[in-house]
């Protein structure tokens, strides 16, 4: 009868609405997980690159290069060892480390483009996009750090197509060479 069809149709509509809400919730959860995983991976790759390079920098003397220097909280400059005398080593005949003081490495956060840049003598390289903030700390800004340590805090953030904000923060303390 018409009443039975109407009741069955109403039940099917209610079940359909419940299933759609469940699927919508699961889709939203999957989207957030996907964006979070992508940001986490990007943050880890960026931190691995920065930490690996900074481990070759030094803080032996805070007033004379070669030194890792905080230019600003979001700008770090340092020098890398290099083979200056062509002997195939980064150590000269006297056992001193040879430093490329002509081409400093700069890590700079540019808020307008939401990017972390690496600048050197050969140009600019984008290390990460979707950057909300980068903070470099050393003993001058955080007395709990040792003289040869630099802390990096990198926060990435993006907005999903459904207007959800996803952010990831990665932090590492790097011990520089002496």
Q: Are the CB atoms for 139 and 147 separated by under 8 Å? A: yes
Q: For 9-21, how does the pLDDT look when each residue is reduced to its tens digit (9 = 90+)?
A: 888 888 888 888 8
pLDDT of residue 111: 95
With residues binned 3-state (H G I as helix, E B as strand, rest as coil), the percentages for the chain, rounded to 5, are 30, 35, 35
pLDDT of residue 178: 66
Q: For 26-78, how does the pLDDT look when each residue is reduced to its tens digit (9 = 90+)?
A: 778 888 999 999 999 999 999 999 999 999 988 766 556 678 889 999 999 99
Which stretches does DSSP call E strand in the chain?
69-72, 75-78, 105-110, 115-120, 123-128, 131-137, 149-159, 165-175
Phi, psi for residue 50 in degrees, rounded to 5:
-65, -50
pTM for this prediction: 0.82
**Quick one: which of 47, 21, 38, 24 has its CA closest to 166?**
38
């Amino acid at each position: 009868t018409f009443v039975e069809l109407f009741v069955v149709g109403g039940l099917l509509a209610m079940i359909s609405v419940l299933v759609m809400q469940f699927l919508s919730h699961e889709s939203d959860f999957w989207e957030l997980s996907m964006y979070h995983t992508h940001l986490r991976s990007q943050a880890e790759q960026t931190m691995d690159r920065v930490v690996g390079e900074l481990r070759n920098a030094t803080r032996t003397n805070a007033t004379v290069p070669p030194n890792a220097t905080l230019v600003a909280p979001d700008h770090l400059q340092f020098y890398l060892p290099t083979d200056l005398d062509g002997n195939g080593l980064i150590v000269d005949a006297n056992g001193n480390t040879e430093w490329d003081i002509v081409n400093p490495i700069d890590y700079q956060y540019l808020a307008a483009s939401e990017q972390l840049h690496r600048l050197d003598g050969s140009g600019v390289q984008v290390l990460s996009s979707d950057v909300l903030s980068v903070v470099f700390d050393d003993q001058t800004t955080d007395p709990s750090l040792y003289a040869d340590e630099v802390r990096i805090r990198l926060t990435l953030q993006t907005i999903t197509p459904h207007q959800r904000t996803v952010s990831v923060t990665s932090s590492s303390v790097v011990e520089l060479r002496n």
